[in-house]
Amino acid sequence: MTFETALVRRLLDAATVAEPTSGRIDWMRRPNGSLPAITLQTVSDPRPQHFKGFQSTRPTRVQIDVWAARPGDAVQLRNQVIATLAPADVVEGVGFQRAMIADVRPGFETDEAASEGQPAGEIYREIIDIIFTHNAN
User: Torsions phi, psi of 64, nearest 5?
Assistant: -115, 120
Dist. CA 30–CA 17, nearest whole Å: 16
Name the pTM for this structure: 0.87
Dist. CA 27–CA 40, nearest whole Å: 5
How do residues 69-103 score in pLDDT, each as one tens digit? 999 999 999 999 999 999 999 999 999 999 999 99
pLDDT at 112 over 80: no
Domains of the chain: 3-48+58-134 (3.30.2000.10)
How do residues 7-60 score in pLDDT, each as one tens digit? 999 999 999 999 999 999 999 988 776 899 999 999 998 787 788 877 788 999
Average pLDDT, the chain: 90
Dist. CA 95–CA 120, nearest whole Å: 41
How many Cβ atoms from other residues are within 10 Å of residue 43's Cβ?
12
- DSSP sequence for 24-68: -EEES---TT--SEEEEEEEE----EETTEE-S-EEEEEEEEEEE
